Amino acid sequence: MKIGIVCYPTYGGSGVVATELGKALASKGHQIHFISYALPMRLDGFQGDIYYHEVEMASYPLFEFPLYTPALASKMVEVARFEKLDLIHAHYAVPHATSAYLAREILDNGIKIVTTLHGTDITLVGLEPSFLPVMKFSIEQSDGVTAVSRFLKEKTLTNYGIEKEIRVIPNFVDIEKYKRIECDEVREKFAPRGERILVHTSNFRAVKRVTDVIRIFHEVRKSIPSKLILAGDGPDRSNCEILVRELGLKDEVRFLGKQHDLVPILSASDLFLMPSQSESFGLSALEAMSCGVPVISSSVGGLPELQVHGQTGYIAEFGDVIRMAKYATELLSNDQRYRMFARAARARAEEFECHKIVNRYEEYYQECLVAEHA
C-alpha cells in the first residue's frame, strides 16, 4: 500500500505512535509518506520506503494567524496525486481530520481517510465550541476511525453524539528496543549511594500533573532514600523547577529536558509515576513497563486498560498524592513483591507488542479500502 501519514512532529504520544507505525509498516513493504510541518521527532535514520514531505506555510500581511489547515490539505493533495496514495492516515483529529477530508474531496479519486483519535483532540481541544462542529463533521466523514482505548471511543461517541463505528487499536511498543539493559553507569550518576530512582517522562503540560510527581516524590523520600528523574519539557517545567526549590529538593531531582533515547534512563529506574489528570492511553507508561518498571498512576481515562492494579503497579484517584506516595513506598520497601511487579509489568507490555498491533492497523486499512464511502 502507499500510505500518507499526517502527524504532529513534536514531543508527544500521537507523533510517536504515528512515526513508529510508519516505520513498522515500511519494514513490511508498504511505501510511507509522512506529511507534517517539521520532521517527526522519531523519524531518524534512513529507511528506504519512507519519505517526508514538509508543509510550507505562506505568509501574508493580512494573515494574523497561520493557515495550517488549508496548507496541509494542499500538501496532501499534491503528495496523493504524485505518489498515487491509496490512503491517508491522520493522527490527532485537530485539524488533521479536517485537512484530510478537504483533500479527499478535492482529489475525488477514491482515496480513503483513516483518522486516529489520540486524546486531547477529543477530551479537550476538540470540545472547544470553536472546533466542535468541524471536528464532529470531520470524524464522521473519515472512512475509518480508530481510538487508542475503549475509554476514548466511548468519550467520542458520547461527547460528540457520533454514531459511527470506531475501532479500538491501542498504543504499542517495540519490546526488542524497550527492554531493560545494563545501566550501572546511569545509576551511579543519578543515585551514587544506591538510592531508589523514580522517573517521569512527559511533555510537561498541565494534564500531566508533573507537580504531583514532585509532591509524591517528596513524600516517598521521607522514608526511602531516593532520587527523581524528570525527562521532557513543556509549559509546566518552570513551575516544577520552582516547586523543587521550594521543597528543598534541588539536589534530589534531575531535570533532563527532552531526550531521544529513554531506554537507559528507564532501565536505571525503579518506579514510573504517571499521576495525569487526563490520559487516553499512557504510551510513556507502556514504554516504562516494557523496560520492567512498575507504574504508579492515576485512574483516569485509558490507564486502567493498560495497568493492572496490584500487579503491574498501583492506581489511585487523580490528585491523591498521599495514596500514590504510600503505594510507591510500600512497593519499594518489599523486594520480593517489587520483583513480581517488575516481571508483571514487562509481561503486560508484551501484550502490546508492536507487530501484533501494527497488523491490526494493516487489516483495518484493508477493510476501509474495500468499503464503500460512508
Which residues contact ligand GMT (rule: CB under 6 A)? 8, 12-15, 17, 118-121, 148, 171, 207, 278-283
DSSP 320: -
Residue 18 Cβ, how far from ligand GMT at the closest point, in Å? 9
Q: CB-wise, 13 or 144, nearer to ligand GMT?
A: 13
Query: Nearer Cβ to ligand GMT, position 78 or 174?
Result: 174
DSSP 102-171: HHHHHH-SS-EEEEEE-SHHHHTGGGSTTTHHHHHHHHHHSSEEEESSHHHHHHHHHHHT--S--EE---
Q: Least distance (Å) from ligand GMT to the CB of residue 125? A: 8
CA–chain centroid gap for 183, Å, is 25
Which secondary-structure segment (H or E) carries 91? Answer: strand 87-91
Residue 160: left if φ>0, alpha if ψ -120 to 50, beta else—which one?
A: alpha
Question: In 3-state terms, what secondary structure has residue 247?
Answer: coil
Shortest separation between residue 202's beta carbon and ligand GMT, angstroms: 8
**SS3 call for 229:** strand
CB-CB neighbours of 105 under 10 Å: 11
DSSP 343: H
Judged by beta carbon, residue 269 or residue 280, the one nearer ligand GMT is: 280
| Distance separating alpha carbons of residues 25 and 41, to the nearest angstrom | 17
CB of 17 to ligand GMT, least distance (A): 5
- Please state the closest distance from residue 252 (CB atom) to ligand GMT, in A: 27
Q: Name the residue nearer to ligand GMT (CB basis): 88 or 148.
A: 148
User: What minimum distance in Å lies between the beta carbon of 92 and ligand GMT?
Assistant: 6
- Three-class SS state of 214: helix
Nearer to ligand GMT, 280 or 312 (CB): 280
The residue (of 269 and 297) whose beta carbon lies closer to ligand GMT is: 297
Residue 174 CB, shortest distance to ligand GMT, in Å, is: 15
Closest approach, Cβ 148 to ligand GMT, in A, equals 4
Q: Which is nearer to ligand GMT, 294 or 302 (CB)?
A: 302
Quote the cell numbers at residue 314: 498501583
Query: Which residues neighbour 26 within 8 Å (Cβ) at sequence distance 6 or greater?
Result: 32, 47, 48, 49, 50
Q: How far apart are CA 252 and CA 340, in angstroms?
A: 27
Residue 208 or 221 with smaller CB distance to ligand GMT: 208
Shortest gap between Cβ of 206 and ligand GMT (angstroms)? 10
Q: Name the residue type at position 78.
A: E
- In the bound state with ligand GMT, the residue whose beta carbon lies nearer, of 178 and 281, is 281
CB 42 within 8 A of CB 52: no
Which three cell numbers mark 94? Answer: 485537530
The one-character DSSP state at 309 is B
